Amino acid sequence: IFAGKLAFDYTISKHIMLLWGIESEYVKGHGTLESGNSSISSSDFLEKEHKHAFYLEERAGWGNWLFHVGMRYESLTADYVDKLSLDKNSHRHYRNLFPSLDLTYSHGGWTNSLSFSSRTNRPSFRQLSNYTYYANEFMYQHGNPKLQPTTLYITEWNTGYKFVNASVSYTYKRNLIASDLYTEDKNSQQLILSSFSNFSHAQVIAANINLQHTYMWWRPSLRIGVVHPFFDCKYMGEPYSYGKT
């Protein structure tokens, strides 16, 4: 892994500041597996990833108001080379813009903040590789080179007064990456395969409240949260909902 970053800032006035920078990363991974078991295929693969990013932010403050807006651009190239089966090779090039926005108001010990952000969760090399992880004679796991990144859009409201803080958030996950179990009949032996798949989308609503107060040298705290997902898929050929609070 090689990574580098350059960060700059410029103060326009006592109320406004600009920040910008560039980032670059290079990652390379290689793995092999030699197997004499007819149920487990041998593998020999190489993975490379290049990422270049540029970001620009503006921060401003007037009186009780703070404002932040930013934009990040990422260009990522990822290559998977299967040395034993060239038809499984893949080349991916992602270009993404990630905006962010934050507005905060503070007055008399009370603080309110409303924010929006976007980000990505890219599959790990283990999730992408065709490498087989052996569990036992009836179960093994392998990756999925065709996985696409998950894109998240998050809207959140935070409020706080003295020792009480609360938040409510909504998250939309596009191309959700999740574990996927299935079976296949290979060489007259029933095998359970564990892999990863992309699902169309999932949504999550969450709310939290946190009470924390300092008493002498003690700082007791109480945190209560509730989460409700919205996620539907098929299990054993039947529709199934994971929308449980």
Q: Which of these, 159, 170, 162, lies nearest to 209 by C-alpha position?
A: 159
Arithmetic mean of pLDDT over the chain: 88
pLDDT band at 40, cuts 50/70/90? low
Whether pLDDT at 187 is above 60: no
Whether pLDDT at 192 is above 50: yes
Cα 69 to Cα 114, 158, 201, distances in angstroms: 12, 17, 26
Quote the percentage of the chain above a pLDDT of 90.
55
Which long-range CB contacts under 8 A does 189-192 form with residues at least 24 apart?
A: 189/39, 189/137, 189/138, 190/138, 191/39, 191/138, 191/139, 191/140, 192/138, 192/139
In this prediction, residue 188 carries a pLDDT of 47
Q: Which helix (H) or strand (E) holds 231?
A: none
Whether pLDDT at 216 is above 80: yes
In this prediction, residue 185 carries a pLDDT of 62
In this prediction, residue 140 carries a pLDDT of 82
For residue 125, give both structure tokens.
Answer: 């090399």
Q: Tell me the whole-structure pTM to 2 decimals.
A: 0.81
Which pLDDT tens digit goes with each residue over 6-22? 999 999 998 999 999 99
Classify residue 188 as left (phi > 0), alpha (psi -120 to 50) or beta. left
Which pLDDT tens digit goes with each residue over 163-183? 899 999 999 999 999 888 877
Q: Which of these, 198, 185, 232, lies nearest to 128 by C-alpha position?
A: 198
In this prediction, residue 220 carries a pLDDT of 93
* Between 198 and 184, the higher pLDDT residue: 198
Least confident span in 45-59, 100-114, 135-149, 216-230: 135-149
pLDDT band at 189, cuts 50/70/90? low
What mean pLDDT is predicted for residues 70-83? 90
In this prediction, residue 39 carries a pLDDT of 61
* Between 107 and 134, the higher pLDDT residue: 107
Quote the percentage of the chain above a pLDDT of 70.
94
Least confident span in 44-53, 87-96, 108-117: 87-96
Whether pLDDT at 55 is above 80: yes
* Between 164 and 236, the higher pLDDT residue: 164
What mean pLDDT is predicted for residues 111-125? 91
